[in-house]
A and B are shown apart, each in its own frame.
Chain A
Amino acid sequence: MATNNRPLSPHLQVYRPQLTSMLSILHRLTGVALAIGTLLLVWWLIAAASGPDAYATAQGFIGSILGRLLLLGWTFALFYHLANGIRHLAWDIGWGFELPTAYTTGWLVVIVSIVLTLVSWVGGYAALGG
């Protein structure tokens, strides 16, 4: 069978990147990242249940440069997945499919995620200082 000469459907790479497609794949990426991030929550809970030494180790990691960088990434991922998830739920009830609306809500999700990430970190540092 001469299957090799069949025309192929256009592959993903031939399309110009646009906001809607980038946000779509970012929803998946942040979802996978958050699934990995649950490890930190589970560790923190088990450490708190295990005793002061285990808890100090977990807090030490979270407070380290690497821990803070990971937590910053996970904070953004959480807010992005939350905001874009609400955008998805709106689509599920049939709202927001028009192209201008999809772009408006897309930019809104980006702005909201960044702002809420910054607000949380300002709040976190305020809690540390207070």
Chain B
Amino acid sequence: MSLRSPLGRARGLGSAKSGTQHWWAQRLTAVALVPLTIWFVIAMVAATGSDHATARAFIGNPVTAVLLILLIVATFHHAQLGLQVVIEDYVHKKPVEIGLLLFVKGAAIVLALAAIFAVLSIAFGGS
């Protein structure tokens, strides 16, 4: 016998009010990051010690630029989802917890945007 109300069962959102959305987004980004990370490490090993012109040519290459942006989006989304769980597990003072969550999520957006902007500005030939 289930103790859940028919409405609660239909919505499937549970006590967190967001259902399995967080868990599922973490798995989806994880699956995306498996090939992206393998590509990234191989590319970075090959680019070890590159001078400025070589690095720009590498980053600005259309294929590299798109893969880098995909990597940046998946990485920061995955990272902020993971750090959220760590903070929720270990920080028990509510104001500190909310403050840290805001900081982590804000920093993820700022860093991802900055990294994407850098890639695009190189790809489009700025400076």
Which residues of A are in contact with B by a Cβ distance under 8 Å? 28, 31-32, 34-35, 38-39, 41-42, 45-46, 48-52, 55-56, 59, 63, 75, 78-79, 82, 85-86, 88-89, 92, 120, 123-125, 127-128
Knowing A46-B114, A89-B30 touch, does A120 contact B79 (C-beta < 8 A)?
Answer: no
The 25 sampled A-B contact pairs (Cβ below 8 Å) are: A28-B86, A31-B86, A32-B83, A35-B79, A35-B82, A42-B114, A42-B115, A45-B59, A45-B115, A45-B122, A48-B56, A49-B119, A49-B121, A51-B52, A51-B127, A55-B52, A78-B37, A79-B41, A86-B34, A89-B30, A89-B31, A123-B46, A124-B48, A125-B48, A127-B46
Q: Which of B9-59 contact A (CB under 8 A)?
A: 27, 30-31, 33-34, 37-38, 41, 45-49, 52, 55-56, 59
Interfacial chain A residues near B114, Cβ < 8 Å: 42, 45-46
Q: What is the total of A-B residue contacts with beta carbons within 8 Å?
A: 86
A38 touches B76 (CB 8 A): yes
Checking B45, B82, B119 against A45 with a beta-carbon cut-off of 8 angstroms, the contacting residue is B119
A48 touches B122 (CB 8 A): yes
Alpha-carbon gap, A3 to B34, bound state (A):
48
Chain B contact residues, majority secondary structure: helix
For B, the interface residue count at a CB cutoff of 8 angstroms equals 34
Checking A34, A52, A123 against B45 with a beta-carbon cut-off of 8 angstroms, the contacting residue is A123
Alpha-carbon gap, A120 to B56, bound state (A):
22
